[in-house]
A = this chain, B = another copy of it.
Amino acid sequence: MMKRGVIALLTDFGTDDLFVGVMKGVILKINPQVELVDITHNIPPQDIFSAGFLLKSGYHYFPRGCIFLVVVDPGVGSERKAVVVCTKNYFFVGPDNGVLSLAAEDDGIEKIVCLENEQFFLTPLSHTFAGRDVFAPVAAYLSRGEKPERLGRNLDTIEKIHLPLPRVKPEYKPPLFCGKVAFSSEVEEHILQGEVIYIDHFGNLITNIEKDIFTNFVQDRKFIIKIKGRKIFSLSDSYQSVKKEEILAIFDSFNLLEISVNCHSAKQLLGVERGERVEVEIVREE
């Protein structure tokens, strides 16, 4: 008997063409009872990093057993593998180009299967649309309870991508001696350097600085957050804690440090793109 399940779709297909609709048609032909949820189809074309980051940020909000159908696939038709990754609570179906790795490793990988059994594919296979011919039908069969091991051979590992990690810069330079100023001679870590790794629809600048890292670094010391010549001296509890169009720093809903502007786009107001440097600097008390 069929089982009802959830397939969540994440692609760079956009919503102007029929790619997404056709994948859904293929799925419903195989499992009419499945629930289909769009995460987004507006990943910038071929941007494996953004897709992988979003997937990692959100996957655990979905019901246990959910099948993530992820198609950001610049290597479609080439030798790149197609895989299903079974984790502790979920299934991730997509190309083996790293896009699945952040989320799958976060949940705990239990099995990796290389999709090779053409019995579960559409035929003839096209060279340009594995989403329709391979990933959608495989996800549909999984949602009906098909065993992953029947889909192909086991793999030991998948391709990986990595989020850039924030770095602590121990660039302490002892001041020139100038009179009787007392200062600690030990080299202190006094700058935490991160970067903007994602910019959302509202123009909020999401950095790679997690709340735990920030808190451990800052402790009870005074700090300044610096980005593109602007300085922020405290953390906010809400966007409206500053005046309209003023800049603020806040821990966002994914526990990442976010630079925002109340009721406006920080991206636009500050002219910032992904990759922009963000620094948390400890203020020395004298």
A contact residues vs B (CB 8 Å cutoff): 4, 6, 8, 10, 13-22, 24-26, 28-29, 32, 35-42, 45-46, 54-55, 57-58, 61-64, 66, 74-78, 126-129, 132-133, 200-202, 236-241, 250-253, 258, 263, 265
Q: Say which residue of B18, B28, B62 sits within 8 Å of A39 (CB atoms).
A: B18
Copies in the assembly, this chain = 3
Chain B residues lying within 8 Å of A128, measured Cβ to Cβ, are 238-239, 250, 252-253, 258
The answer to whether B25 and A129 have CB atoms under 8 Å apart is: no
Chain B residues lying within 8 Å of A263, measured Cβ to Cβ, are 45-46, 74
The answer to whether B40 and A28 have CB atoms under 8 Å apart is: no
Which 5 interchain pairs have the tightest Cβ spacing? Answer: A77-B238, A129-B253, A14-B201, A21-B39, A25-B62
In the complex formed, the residue of B with least CB distance to A13 is B201
Chain B residues lying within 8 Å of A132, measured Cβ to Cβ, are 61, 253
Q: Say which residue of B35, B36, B202, B240 sits within 8 Å of A78 (CB atoms).
A: B240
CB distance from A91 to the nearest CB of B (A): 14
The answer to whether A240 and B58 have CB atoms under 8 Å apart is: no
The answer to whether B25 and A240 have CB atoms under 8 Å apart is: no
The answer to whether A201 and B250 have CB atoms under 8 Å apart is: no
In the complex, 18 of the A-B residue pairs with CB atoms within 8 angstroms, ordered by the A residue number, are A8-B21, A15-B38, A17-B40, A17-B54, A18-B54, A18-B58, A21-B37, A21-B40, A21-B58, A28-B37, A29-B62, A45-B202, A75-B239, A75-B240, A78-B238, A127-B236, A128-B253, A133-B253
**Which of A16, A39, A253 counts the most B-chain CB atoms under 10 A from its CB?**
A253
Q: In the complex, A238 Cα to B80 Cα: how many Å? A: 11
The answer to whether A6 and B18 have CB atoms under 8 Å apart is: no
Starting from the known contacts A25-B58, A45-B202, 16 additional A-B residue pairs (CB-CB under 8 Å) come to A16-B42, A17-B40, A20-B40, A21-B37, A21-B58, A28-B62, A28-B63, A45-B265, A75-B239, A77-B238, A126-B251, A126-B253, A127-B238, A127-B250, A127-B251, A128-B250
CB distance from A117 to the nearest CB of B (A): 21
Q: In the complex, A181 Cα to B63 Cα: how many Å? A: 75
In the complex formed, the residue of B with least CB distance to A240 is B78
Q: Say which residue of B58, B74, B202, B258 sits within 8 Å of A22 (CB atoms).
A: B58
CB distance from A72 to the nearest CB of B (A): 12
In the complex formed, the residue of B with least CB distance to A29 is B63
In the complex formed, the residue of B with least CB distance to A53 is B18
CB distance from A257 to the nearest CB of B (A): 12
CB distance from A156 to the nearest CB of B (A): 24
Q: In the complex, A163 Cα to B85 Cα: how many Å? A: 42
Chain B residues lying within 8 Å of A20, measured Cβ to Cβ, are 38, 40
CB distance from A145 to the nearest CB of B (A): 16
